[in-house]
Amino acid sequence: MDRQKKFVEEITSRDEDFAKWYTDIVKKAELIDYSSVKGCMVIRPNGYAIWENIQKNLDARFKATGHENVYMPLFIPESLLQKEKEHVEGFAPEVAWVTYGGSEKLAERLCVRPTSETLFCEHYANIVHSYRDLPKLYNQWCSVVRWEKTTRPFLRSLEFLWQEGHTAHATMEDAREETIRMLNVYAAFCEEALAIPVVKGRKTDKEKFAGAVETYTIESLMHDGKALQSGTSHYFGDGFAKAFGIQYTDRDNKLQYVHQTSWGVSTRLIGAVIMVHGDDSGLSLPPVIAPAQLVIIPIAMHKEGVLEKAAELKNRLSDFRVKLDDSDKMPGWKFSEHEMMGIPLRLEIGPKDIENNQAVLVRRDTREKTIVSLDNIENEVKSLLDTIQSDMLKRAKEHLDKSITNITDFESLCRAADEKTGFFRAMWCGKRECEEKIKETTGLSSRCIPFEQEMLSDKCVCCGEKAESLVFWGKAY
């Protein structure tokens, strides 16, 4: 037990120092390692397996909504990037440039993609000619590079993995419908797969994506009360189409510009899973995206028949992602190690269990132990995994609900920002000056204008003038 205690003591307490706790988790759970390039991370097998499950689940949802996967080049010529002024200005501070090819200086600088709007636009201009060519519903899985000043594993790094959907439509109505549809796909994925509840809404003009007409977001709340922008969906209108000449002939043989969208999520979602569900013993992974859903630990495995029974159970439970730990470590050490890795369910089997035709199932999220018959082990495992998934969402939802505070005046907002964490709902007049004043004074940024509007007051929380909309405010990663 001393070794088990030592294993856990190497993690900083979550409530003592949340940032250090997070760093301890990503290292101790072997999710990442640091690389020789500051701000870049090595995603280790444990971390990459989580991303693979996120990718697999999301990709199925994209395909079910008619999207196809493509791949665009890594490099963007500077002249191409410059075609949409607002877009390039928004990304300019974060762009990495290639200026040499081998020993020769390039005639034109190449941007290492921070996002791929311009590449998709160039492609659409080449392949879209008629209304019969629309819509184009494309997605790509790739990495992007953004030269961030402050980095943290998964949450913000120079290079990160993501998916970016880019679609072209005949009408504004079709494009707007796509924008909201994909936001809803993200929200459903977060709740159903990651067990993370979200707030859906529109970004303010100050916070919207560079080049977008409208940006929609899903915002989630971490254990420490900070918000995390977990996915965005953008309506571009025909601005990019006009800049890149993406036109089609409509049914009346008239030339029209397409209307476009883009939407994306990234490996930042792994950071969200850590910060919403993790505890002082390590990761706690929702079964839907856990690399191993169940770990089998033989007890007194030197005794006759124990290892054989454990192997038999692994085969019986092959419908799940199962790991058998037959290493020579002590059981207590194994328990701590697999808790650290966040495996949702543990199955213990020893000589007495075999004699009684039973096994012990232990939940990672609550540590609750259940003795079950081996005759019905498949159904018992499935039932418990389903319960763990739904309970994790329920607890996260309860945390979100109790962390939302309604505010109606500026003094209360300033005080609450100092004393509390979470989301603050307050009315806003729509003026950027008020949004900036709130940020400068309280450190709270506008997270979103939620779809579900409510009049808490008829006055802006900042200036006291006529309110335009309810806004979620919060401190964010």
| 376/412 same-domain check | no
**Locus of tokens 């994306």:** 264
Strands (E), 146-223: 159-169, 199-202, 214-221
| 142/264 same-domain check | yes
Pick from 396, 192, 408, 106: nearest CA to 279: 396
Three-class SS state of 423: strand
| 78/105 same-domain check | yes
Question: Is residue 331 reached through a cis peptide bond, with omega within 30 degrees of 0 on the bond before it?
Answer: no
Phi, psi for 212 (deg, rounded to 5) = -85, 150
- 414: domain CATH number? 3.30.110.30
| 301/201 same-domain check | no
pLDDT given at position 155? 96
- 170: domain CATH number? 3.30.930.10
pLDDT given at position 9? 61
Query: What torsion, rounded to 10 degrees, do the Cα atoms 100, 101, 103, 108 define?
Result: -50
| 158/232 same-domain check | yes
CB 257 within 8 A of CB 267: no
Pick from 268, 330, 343, 254: nearest CA to 299: 330
Three-class SS state of 218: strand
| 29/99 same-domain check | yes
Q: Is the dihedral of CA 265, 216, 207, 210 positive or negative?
A: positive
| 206/131 same-domain check | yes
CB neighbours of 411 closer than 8 A, spacing ≥ 6? Answer: none
Number of domains into which the chain is organized: 3
User: One digit per residue, pLDDT tens: the chain, 477 residues?
Assistant: 444 455 556 799 999 999 999 999 999 999 999 999 999 999 999 999 999 999 999 999 999 999 999 999 999 999 998 887 777 777 778 899 999 999 999 999 999 999 999 999 999 999 999 999 999 999 999 999 999 888 999 999 999 999 999 999 999 999 999 999 999 999 999 999 999 999 999 999 999 999 999 999 999 999 999 999 999 999 999 999 999 999 999 999 999 999 999 999 999 999 999 999 999 999 999 999 999 999 999 999 999 999 999 999 999 999 999 999 999 999 999 999 999 999 999 999 999 999 999 999 999 999 999 999 999 999 999 999 999 999 999 999 999 999 999 999 999 999 999 999 999 999 999 999 999 999 999 999 999 999 999 999 999 999 999 999 999 999 999
Pick from 228, 294, 31, 248: nearest CA to 135: 248
| 247/382 same-domain check | no
pLDDT given at position 134? 98
| 190/118 same-domain check | yes
d(CA 417, CA 411): 10
Identify whether 395 is part of a domain. Answer: no
Identify whether 195 is part of a domain. Answer: yes
- 305: domain CATH number? 3.40.50.800
| 243/335 same-domain check | no
DSSP single-letter state for residue 421: -
Domain boundary among the residues 277, 311, 331 is at 277
State the DSSP H helix or E strand holding residue 41, giving kind and residue range, or none if neither.
Answer: strand 41-43
Strands 159-169, 259-266: pairing is: antiparallel
| 92/37 same-domain check | yes
Range of the structural domain that residue 202 is part of:
2-277
Give, in order, the Cα–Cα distances in Å from 319 to each of 64, 314, 344, 360, 378.
23, 10, 15, 19, 9
**Locus of tokens 């999710």:** 31
d(CA 345, CA 457): 47
Domain boundary among the residues 277, 303, 332 is at 277
pLDDT digits over 94-120, tens only?
Answer: 899 999 999 999 999 999 999 999 999
Three-class SS state of 168: strand
CB 337 within 8 A of CB 282: no
pLDDT digits over 225-252, tens only?
Answer: 999 999 999 999 999 999 999 999 999 9
d(CA 359, CA 374): 6
Pick from 355, 163, 188: nearest CA to 266: 163
pLDDT given at position 1? 43
Identify whether 391 is part of a domain. Answer: no
Give, in order, the Cα–Cα distances in Å from 284 to each of 50, 270, 294, 310, 392.
12, 12, 12, 24, 9
pLDDT given at position 242? 96
CB neighbours of 83 closer than 8 A, spacing ≥ 6? Answer: 118, 121, 243, 244
Q: Put residue 105 in one of left, alpha, beta given phi > 0 → left and psi -120 to 50 → alpha.
A: beta
346 DSSP β-pair partners: 295, 362
Identify whether 287 is part of a domain. Answer: no
DSSP single-letter state for residue 16: T
Identify whether 394 is part of a domain. Answer: no
Identify whether 397 is part of a domain. Answer: no
322 DSSP β-pair partners: 294
Domain boundary among the residues 354, 386, 418 is at 386
| 330/468 same-domain check | no
Identify whether 180 is part of a domain. Answer: yes
Identify whether 396 is part of a domain. Answer: no
CB 289 within 8 A of CB 57: yes
